[in-house]
Structure 1
Amino acid sequence: MKVIIGHFGHEANTFAENKTSYEEFIGRGILIGEESVQKSEGTAVYLGGIIRACREENIEIIPTCAYTCAAPTLTEECVNKMLEHILPVVEKHKDEIDGICMALHGAGVSEEHDDLETYVLTRLRQIVGNTMPITVCLDLHGNITEEMTQLANGLFGIRKYPHTDKEAAGYLAMKTLARMMKEKIQVETAVERLPMLVPISTGMTANPPFPEMEAYFEAYTKQEGLIYASFFHGFPYADVPGSGASVVVVAEKGKDVKKAARQLAEFVWERRHYFNVHVLSPTEAMDLAEQEVAPGYIVINEMSDNPGGGCPGDGTHLLREMLNRNLPGSIFGYMVDPIAVEEIFQKKPGDTISFSLGGRHEKIFGEPIAIQNANIISQSLGNYIYTSPNLRGAAGKLGKCARIKVGNVEIIIGSVRNQTFDDLPFAVTGADLREYRYVGLKSTQHFRGFFGDAACRIISTDPPGLNSGDLSVFDFQKIPRPIYPLDENVVF
């Protein structure tokens, strides 16, 4: 038996002013064809789980591509170029394959498509028809629509944030597809959408109410004989009609999947107050950091400029506060500013340099910082292999990067937009975090997969930005209304 696999993931921040070209989108390096199998097998990503299931089931793999990125709205040219890696392969092998297993995201948006996943699945169905079994694994932040459930036989999302279970989601999606291919079981999927937006700042699944919800969903799934059931938080920074939280249920035909999804969604709705937000400014966060007495280093994470949520990564709010305090043992990792990096690479380690850093995108992220007489400590090409449980074994990339020192504060500046998952963005520039006290970084929750055990304390700050936990600051135009927590007296 043969199956086509691939990964085309996009999480859209539609509030960003710019659009994302193909070249910008694939800046961290797309994997094409067989390379996507070679570099994904054995790793903690979706394709790692899909490939593991294929090996177990002795199913031949026909690969397409593998790439995912959170970014502003994609240009249509970008979408078309990504599909050029997928659709011709499907067309070529459509008469010999037995199924398709794709990793998408669930919150993709392009210039012409508010629901990118539905568009991709529609294009696949146009080639293989309506009877070919297709399963899809998705991000917990997917904005799941009814159209997706009609085009794919099974939708399987990750359950944890930080996303440490991508491999498991890919594995379940492929194992279910294998049963459809071999045992000819019929699978149905239902979605129950909730009138609710969940800020990513409140979505860490180790915190209440998520452990209780996970236990309830697991017991319900077992009791009702379902294949899969989960709560999708949705991605509120995609201002589209499909934005919002939902519950998805997958089961063999004959089960009342719509009833199950509704009952589970009611359980979630009763706990909506847990998703209300309290935020700290950079000043408040640094005050708490200075008061901490436990040994080790303290992580101060800037949630609202998270490149993993489609933000530029060059916001200056937290870094400016750290520079103003000038505390010994301070390091920030990292700022995304390829223009600044090129200036630094015109010199060498040991030299001093003055330049403008950050603040090159939306004004909400803060003004540029005038760096004066900084010492260049090191320069690097910024390539590494993740140790974070989110992406263990996968390749990471900062691009050309440098570490500089301004007073007591060291700053890592990279060329490729990404959030900080582990200590490797620091290590590639020669920085050992055990030698520091105050560690600033840009990420909302994923960094906790590594730093939750490594840091003595984590303090989150939420200055103005396009991933802010305060959703009232956004000018929503397309989302369904009324919706919690923006509106009063919302009924479900």
Structure 2
Amino acid sequence: NKTFTSFLKQIKVFTSKKGGITMRILIGGIAHETNTFSNVKTTVESFKQWEWIHGDTIIQKHRKVRNYLGGMIDRAEEIGVEIIPSFSAFAMPSGLITKETYERLIYELTDSIKAAGEFEAVCLALHGAGVAEDADDLEGGILSAVREIIGYKIPVVVTLDLHGNITDQMVKEADVLLGVNFYPHVDCYERGKEAIDITKQILLEEIHPKMSLKKLPLMIPTSTTNLPPAKHINELCWTREKNEKIIDCTFFHGFPYTNIPEVGVTVVAITNNDQELADQTAEEIAIEIWNTREDFFPDIDTPEEGLNKALRMEGKPTVREPDSIDVHKTTWVDDTNAHIYDTLLKRDLDGNLVPGLAEKYEVSDDGKVWTIVLNKTAKFQFQTTTKAKVFTSKKVNL
């Protein structure tokens, strides 16, 4: 009968270990948030500065850590699932990933998968906004390379950043795409655990995921999710998830600082074997996002307006931060700084301290005057020239 047949299928995906029952799930990850407008190329060394690890080192480094891989590892150990670690790489947000680095990343992951032995499923921690010199869709390329090795019978579950630009290729190559719901990203760990739970359900044939991707012709700035309108959209997604047929519904904000065709806001809805419901759910959420699109754009001071506010303040010196985009001074470009410094110069204001300049010049004598071209190599080519005197070559606490 049907129950007995299902039981026989379950036996095929289990191995016996120390008298218990264990599933074998391969885990790994490659994550980078790419700003294609940045001049800072992303290389192998960029990844090795943060994470470039193989095998058991992944478990040792991420166990009990509140990130995607940490959630996968901890949940697997909680429910008796055997984890097979492969390769994990992470680099801080920066510019295009070089062609050589992209090829090396693919090689390291696929080579570790080939050497992993037998496993029944794959869970990968990716990002969603990775771009290489010759590959607009880093994650789609990664998943395609994995599929070339494992085929399409082994399920692949992927965790993604809320700022991912979700593509048709990602949906084609993965069984499940799970994005974090919050910004700041406080739920990576929970999504990692959920990835393992969903993978287990797939292997037990308790669920048969059907995904729907809805793209909007819309780019929005980075938006916090603890306030409307993003909070409202999340709540709509969670309301849909109360339907037992809906496995997940995620609003991906996209990453607008990637100059690629598939940049933008998307919705991914996943159901248990109901494609029509998945399509309908994604469409409904997308319509609500579109109807509230104007609410995603905040009122932001121009450099002139910000300077006027600063000049009206009393007390200690004013500290200004040039941008508020995810990771300062890595995700964004120096063009922002040049515009702000140019505003200061036009007002003929003296006494502006620029700590970063000390890193670009060999400071030898206090009082020395430099002629400086700000933003000399930026893609946007907005430049401003000024003279700066070395106030002190020592660290100063303001």
Q: Which bracket does the TM-score occupy, shorter chain normalised?
A: 0.7 to 0.9
Structure 2 match to 1:237: 257
Per the TM alignment, residue 67 of structure 1 is displaced from its structure 2 partner at its CA by: 0.8
Task: Report the structure number with the largest CA radius of gyration.
Answer: 2
Q: Which moved more, 1:5-14 or 1:316-325?
A: 316-325
Q: Please, which runs of 5 or more residues in structure 1 have no aligned partner?
A: 378-403, 406-430, 437-492
Among candidates 99, 105, 118, match of residue 127 of structure 2: 105
Residues 338, 98 of structure 1: CA spacing in aligned structure 2 closer, same or farther, 3 A cutoff? Answer: farther
Q: Establish whether residue 250 from structure 1 lines up as the match of residue 262 from structure 2.
A: no
Residues 260, 82 of structure 1: CA spacing in aligned structure 2 closer, same or farther, 3 A cutoff? Answer: same
Q: Structure 2 length as normaliser, TM-score? A: 0.80
Equivalent position SS for 1:229:
strand
Among candidates 136, 145, 155, match of residue 167 of structure 2: 145
Within 5 A, what are the aligned runs for 1:203-214? Answer: 203-214=223-234
Structure 2 match to 1:90: 113
Residues 258, 321 of structure 1: CA spacing in aligned structure 2 closer, same or farther, 3 A cutoff? Answer: same
**Residues 314, 360 of structure 1: 8 Å contact kept:** no
Per the TM alignment, residue 196 of structure 1 is displaced from its structure 2 partner at its CA by: 1.0
Residues 370, 297 of structure 1: CA spacing in aligned structure 2 closer, same or farther, 3 A cutoff? Answer: closer
2-side partners of 1:360 and 1:58: how far apart? 56
Per the TM alignment, residue 187 of structure 1 is displaced from its structure 2 partner at its CA by: 1.7
2-side partners of 1:232 and 1:360: how far apart? 35
Residues 314, 286 of structure 1: CA spacing in aligned structure 2 closer, same or farther, 3 A cutoff? Answer: closer
**Residues 98, 133 of structure 1: 8 Å contact kept:** yes
**Residues 47, 89 of structure 2: 8 Å contact kept:** no
Residues 192, 297 of structure 1: CA spacing in aligned structure 2 closer, same or farther, 3 A cutoff? Answer: farther
Q: Establish whether residue 361 from structure 1 lines up as the match of residue 394 from structure 2.
A: no
2-side partners of 1:221 and 1:208: how far apart? 20
- Larger relative helix fraction: 2
Q: Which amino acid aligns with 2:375?
A: G
Identity of aligned residues (%): 28
Q: Establish whether residue 281 from structure 1 lines up as the match of residue 298 from structure 2.
A: no
Equivalent position SS for 1:171:
helix
- Larger relative strand fraction: 1
Structure 2 match to 1:223: 243
- Cα deviation digits, residues 179-217 of structure 1 (max 9, x gap): 2234553222211111111123xx222332122222222
2-side partners of 1:111 and 1:318: how far apart? 30
Per the TM alignment, residue 313 of structure 1 is displaced from its structure 2 partner at its CA by: 9.0
2-side partners of 1:123 and 1:89: how far apart? 12
Q: Which amino acid aligns with 2:250?
A: S
Per the TM alignment, residue 352 of structure 1 is displaced from its structure 2 partner at its CA by: 7.6
- Cα deviation digits, residues 67-110 of structure 1 (max 9, x gap): 143222222101112223311110112x4112111111112111
**Residues 190, 250 of structure 1: 8 Å contact kept:** yes
Q: Which amino acid aligns with 1:211?
A: K
Equivalent position SS for 1:240:
coil
Q: Which amino acid aligns with 2:390?
A: N
Structure 2 match to 1:155: 177
- Cα deviation digits, residues 296-336 of structure 1 (max 9, x gap): 99874322774453536994444676797567xx987x749
Looking at both structures, which has the greater relative contact order when contacts are Cα pairs under 8 Å and sequence separation is at least 6? 1
2-side partners of 1:123 and 1:361: how far apart? 35
**Residues 136, 156 of structure 1: 8 Å contact kept:** yes
Aligned length: 368
Equivalent position SS for 1:136:
strand
Q: Please, which runs of 5 or more residues in structure 2 have no aligned partner?
A: 1-22
2-side partners of 1:7 and 1:313: how far apart? 32
Q: Structure 1 length as normaliser, TM-score? A: 0.66
Residues 223, 338 of structure 1: CA spacing in aligned structure 2 closer, same or farther, 3 A cutoff? Answer: same
Q: Which amino acid aligns with 2:201?
A: R
2-side partners of 1:318 and 1:39: how far apart? 41
Equivalent position SS for 1:135:
strand
Q: Which moved more, 1:7-16 or 1:115-124?
A: 7-16
Within 5 A, what are the aligned runs for 1:28-427? Answer: 28-63=50-85, 64-93=87-116, 95-182=117-204, 185-200=207-222, 203-223=223-243, 225-254=245-274, 256-291=277-312, 300-303=320-323, 306-309=328-331, 311=333, 315-318=337-340, 335=356, 339-340=360-361, 343=362, 359-362=375-378, 364=381, 366-367=383-384, 371-377=388-394, 404-405=395-396
Q: Which amino acid aligns with 1:85?
A: E
Residues 87, 259 of structure 1: CA spacing in aligned structure 2 closer, same or farther, 3 A cutoff? Answer: same
1-side partners of 2:57 and 2:214: how far apart? 37
- Cα deviation digits, residues 377-415 of structure 1 (max 9, x gap): 3xxxxxxxxxxxxxxxxxxxxxxxxxx45xxxxxxxxxx
Q: Establish whether residue 13 from structure 1 lines up as the match of residue 29 from structure 2.
A: no
**Residues 334, 375 of structure 2: 8 Å contact kept:** no
2-side partners of 1:314 and 1:106: how far apart? 25
